[in-house]
Amino acid sequence: MGRPANPNRRPELLSQILEHVATSSLSRVTFRSLAGALGVSTYVLVYHFGSRRDLIDAILDESVRMRREALEGVDVEALSREEMLAWMREAFITSLEPRHLPGIRLQFEAGSLESIDPDIGTRITDSYAVWNELFAGWLRRQDVPETEVDRLALHITNCLFGTQFGYLISGDRAATIDVFDIALATTVGQIDAVRAGIPAVTK
């Protein structure tokens, strides 16, 4: 009989893979390239991850875990406006910590590749949709007119994702937080406007 599989081996490999991919490109990930970088055989990687698609899924699952962590124990739709703004700001600042940045970079790269690389899947698009629907549900609880809910939810989602992307480019943490605070203030203004019967954008 062969030796039983080490249950810790796959997590160990995944941690090493994420460290490598954080300074490389997701589009270039292959079993051969990773085997060379990690000093293991391609057989070991195939054994633990199956196919390239399964490997990419594992990488992206880990990269989006940070966003899921922000939701743990939080009933977003039940938050008051003040609670929502405080929660979003705290979660955003946490997302800028060095330990989370490789995952954010991977998400943006994967999101841009999903429409052209079948192996990437739709994990980031799906995550984006979940956040968008979450914000839409909260806006409904704030008595925002249904005609404006989708537009404002998209505005909030794009502020969150887009400002993070800006930080990857600039690396200026203080300026990024300042811009996000402006985005939150703009969101409040838009909510007040549409509740007063003023469209979010004058056409």
Whole-Å CA distances, 94 to 22, 79, 90, 98, 106: 18, 19, 6, 9, 17
- Tell me which residue has tokens 């060379």: 36
Q: How far is CA 67 from CA 7, 36, 37, 142, in A?
A: 26, 31, 28, 23
Q: What is the pLDDT averaged over residues 164-184?
A: 94
- Report pLDDT for 138: 95
Give pLDDT tens digits for 77-128: 899 999 999 999 999 999 898 888 888 888 888 888 888 888 888 888 998 9
The DSSP-derived string for the chain is -PPPP-TTHHHHHHHHHHHHHTTS-GGG--HHHHHHHHT--HHHHHHHH-SHHHHHHHHHHHHTHHHHHTTTT--GGG--HHHHHHHHHHHHHHHTSTTTHHHHHHHHHHHHHTTT-GGGTTHHHHHHHHHHHHHHHHHHHTT--HHHHHHHHHHHHHHHHHHHHHHHHH--HHHHHHHHHHHHHHHHHHHHHHHTT--SS--
Yes or no: say if 190 and 150 are a contact pair by the CB < 8 Å rule: no
**Average pLDDT of 7-29?**
83
pLDDT at residue 21, as a whole number: 83
* Segment 33-61 mean pLDDT: 89
Work out the pLDDT band at 59, boundaries 50, 70, 90. Answer: confident
CA distance 47 to 14: 13
Q: In whole angstroms, what is the distance from residue 80 CA to residue 188 CA?
A: 12
**Angle of the 42-49 helix axis to the 52-63 helix axis, nearest 10:** 70
Q: Is the pLDDT of residue 168 over 70?
A: yes
